[in-house]
Chains A and B, each alone.
Chain A
Amino acid sequence: MVGPEAAGPEAVAAALARVERLNPKLNAYLHVDADGALAAAREAGPPSAEQPLAGVPICVKDIIDVAGMPTTAGAAGWSRLPSADAVAVARLRAAGAVVVGKGHTNEFAYGIDGKNPHHGDCRNPHDPGRLCGGSSSGPAVATAAGMAWAGLGSDTTGSIRMPASLCGLVGIRPTRGLVPTAGVVPLAWSYDTVGPLARTVADAALLLDVLAGRPAAEPPAPDSAGLRLGLATELLALAAEPIRERIRATAAALAGAGATVTERSVPDPARATAIHRIVQAAEAAAVHAAWFEDQRDRYSAEVRARLEAGHRLSAEVYLRAQRHRRLFTRDFAAAFEGLDAILAPASPVAAPPLDATELTINDTTQPLRPALLSCLLPISQLDCPAVAVPIGTLDGLPVGMQLIGRPGSEPLLLRLAAAVEAIADPVPPPAFPQP
């Protein structure tokens, strides 16, 4: 359970004080319920086996319903005022968690950079001139900057793992279906997952148990001895050389701690890109169809174009992509043979500047969005768990590593994540100017 220093009225008041001081700079929250959070914290008892999150302040991504708070999905005009919590939020609150407010997101979670033309950009607490990553930008930044103990986000293409990587956090994309998505504004049904962002592996593991509706297990022991790990050749090749060096050094340290590490070829990431863009565009267009005409002029041009294009894809094209997704998964599963987990970069670079539109990686320049997603999107095809875990910093900016397992292998992945956490250099907390 959570330590007493992280819970209760004083902890919630401290988080709210940081919201007041830092949110104008970082824009992590779109809505804050200070009175409600303080009242809930006063009612909560100390953390216990029954309520392991009693009195801990949480930031919830603003595509996830919290009863009595508006859900805007980061949109310009669309919103709803839910009378019930999303299932994931209900489980957190049943465990005693206190919802401070609703966290920033890319418009309808359809983005990876943490920017939003309607609500302003969310900023990286390690350098406010840089991207924080998205679309679970608010929960990530609130957690990294101490405006919450942890965050609740969603990951369709990489929206938990990317901001976790750029902000120095642990982020879990769970096995699809492990955490219910009821009460969450969908982006693409067949990819959507809900999961935690936290400062430590133990915190993230506790949150995942609560979100999955099961009793909290002991914190995962940092143990990689005997694990058979594959370093994904094709994904490693997508990262900038300094990131590759960090990944290789961490893999070598795991080998030194008793794991077996070998390079392993995985299916061509370009196949996954083709599959994903078609499936996501078609599903997102179907999600938005009910309100698209009414809201058409309120979307950003970028999101509107993706939705209109998705609407014009045929069912045959969509289903062909989903059949290729099945084949891609089979091929990836075959590449997994004889391994317990696969290691890969999370982001191919540390946090880019806020105004970046392109990335040049290993002498190749490409648009920002596909470049940032390159190491995450292939894994989103597989319905398996993936954990982003910090492995130190590069020029003061966090670097993240991605740990990938078979469906349902979260306990093994979290032991491995704890081992990485124990080996890697820690990410120092963001430094802010004193008030």
Chain B
Amino acid sequence: MSAKGSGDEAAEAELAQLMALAATLLAQGLEGVEPVTGPQDW
């Protein structure tokens, strides 16, 4: 898979959407929170 831009406009647009969504997930407030790896039991 090409690591850099492929020139594919659809892929660029998709990435822009994902990065915009990522920006809504702030780093603040994550102290002590581990990523989900295996199934969660709650």
On A, residues with C-beta under 8 Å from B are 175-177, 190, 270-271, 273-275, 277-278, 281, 285, 288-289, 292-293, 301-302, 304-313, 317, 319-327, 329-330, 332-333, 382-384, 406-408
Contact = CB atoms under 8 A, between A and B. Distances in A.
Contact of B24 (A274, A302, A333): A274
Interface of B: 1-3, 6, 8, 10-15, 17-19, 21-22, 24-25, 27, 29-30, 33-42
A332 B36 CA distance: 15
A301 B25 contact: no
Nearest to A306: B14
Given A190-B36, A327-B33, A273 B42 contact: no
A322 B2 contact: no
B14 A308 contact: yes
B8 to A, nearest CB: 6
Contact of A329 (B2, B17, B22, B36): B36
A273 B29 CA distance: 19
Contacts of B25: 271, 274-275, 278, 320-321, 324
B41 A407 contact: yes
Contact of B35 (A292, A313, A326): A326
B32 to A, nearest CB: 10
Contacts of A325: 35-36
Contacts of B1: 285, 288-289, 292-293, 307-308, 311
26 contacts: A175-B39, A176-B39, A177-B39, A270-B24, A271-B24, A271-B25, A274-B22, A277-B18, A278-B18, A285-B1, A308-B1, A308-B6, A308-B11, A308-B14, A308-B15, A309-B17, A310-B18, A320-B30, A324-B25, A326-B33, A326-B36, A329-B40, A330-B42, A333-B42, A407-B39, A407-B41
